[in-house]
Structure formats: C-alpha cells, structure tokens
C-alpha cells in the first residue's frame, strides 16, 4: 500500500469513527441537554448533525477514491438490488397485521387521541426513515454477499 493510500485509509477510518461516536456522545448527554434552553439544544443538535454529515461525506469520498472497478461493480450491484429488496420488504411488512397494530399503537402514543400536523409529520418521517434504513441494511447485506461470492477462490 502506497503512502497516499495509507493516508486515505487513515482519514477514512478517522472520519467513520467520528461519524459513529458523535451520535453516541449526543445520546449519552441527552440527560444534560434536556435541561438546557432551546437555543442551546438546537445549536448543539445542529452541530452534531453537521459533524456527522461532514465526517460521513469525507469517509465516502475517501472510500470512493480507494475503490477500483471491482469494488465499484459490487457497489453498483448492491445498490441496485438493495434498494429494490429493502423497499419491497417494507411494503410486505406493512401487510402484516402485527406491524399495522404497532403503527397504530405508535400513532396513538404520540398523538394522544387526534392525529395533528406534528404527529402526521413524525409518522411520515418514521415511515420514510424505516424505508431508507431497510434499503441500507439490504444494500450492505447484498454487497457483502457479492464480495464473498466474487472473491471466492476456485
């Protein structure tokens, strides 16, 4: 591995560590944050989100620079099928009565009766988030399977 590649790997690992640790630190300090005035809470939340976004972006750029055509082919395959599989999985989940009950319970929990604007937005965001997260999980799984299968020695 060249010095340049070595440096890129270090930067990527550091960026990933920052992106992983920041939310944990944030969640770990929620007890302190809840007693702070709103402007402080908003400012720190925005700062934490910005740090995670920048670190993730940096890691993605370094990862892309280190990728060869084989890795890119794997990423393309994983994204293509991961998005489809993840989206389909969520659609199937929505047809399960137990999941429908859970969504109803969540709506009742956050709305305290009537569904207002804020509750609708929370539920919509949660739904969108669940689709994105599921697609991401499937992309990671399919990518790992592709790499394992293609990397096998015959």
Give the one residue of 24, 30, 31, 69 binding other proteins; rule: CB under 8 A.
69
Nearest CB to other proteins, comparing residues 42 and 70: 70
Total residues binding other proteins (CB under 8 A): 13
CA angle 53, 54, 59 (to 5 degrees): 100
**3 contributes a contact to other proteins by CB under 8 A:** no
Site string for other proteins, 135-154 (x = CB under 8 A): ------------x-xxxxxx
Tokens of 30: 């929620």
Write the CA distances from 27 to 31, 36, 42, 50, integer angstroms. 8, 15, 14, 15
Percent helix, strand, coil in the chain, to 5, is 85, 0, 15
How many residues would you count in the chain?
154
Q: In this structure, how many other beta carbons lie within 10 angstroms of the beta carbon of residue 26?
A: 17
Whole-number Å distance between alpha carbons of 100 and 62: 41
Stretch that binds other proteins, among 14-22, 64-72, 99-107, 127-135 (CB under 8 A): 64-72
CA 73/CA 143 separation, integer angstroms? 10
Show the site string, 5-44: x = touches other proteins by CB under 8 A, - = not: ----------------------------------------
Residue 71 binds to other proteins (criterion: CB under 8 A) = yes
Contact 87, 128 (CB under 8 A): no
Q: Smallest distance, Å, CB 22 to other proteins?
A: 29
Q: Among 17, 27, 50, 73, which residue sits at the site for other proteins (rule: CB under 8 A)?
A: 73
Q: Point out which residues bind other proteins (CB under 8 A).
A: 1, 68-71, 73, 147, 149-154
């Amino acid at each position: 591995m060249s010095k340049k590649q070595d440096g890129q790997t270090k930067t990527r690992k550091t960026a990933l560590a920052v992106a992983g640790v920041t939310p944990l630190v944030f969640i770990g300090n929620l007890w302190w944050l809840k007693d702070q005035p709103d402007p402080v809470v908003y400012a720190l939340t925005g700062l934490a989100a910005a740090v995670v976004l920048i670190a993730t972006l940096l890691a993605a750029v370094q990862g892309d620079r280190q990728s060869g055509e084989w890795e890119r082919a794997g990423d393309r395959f994983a994204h293509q099928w991961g998005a489809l599989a993840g989206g389909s999985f969520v659609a199937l989940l929505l047809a399960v009565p137990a999941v429908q009950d859970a969504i109803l319970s969540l709506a009742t929990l956050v709305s305290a009766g009537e569904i207002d604007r804020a509750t609708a937005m929370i539920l919509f965001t949660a739904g969108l988030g669940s689709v994105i997260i599921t697609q991401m999980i499937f992309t990671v799984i399919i990518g790992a399977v592709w790499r394992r299968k293609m990397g096998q020695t015959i």
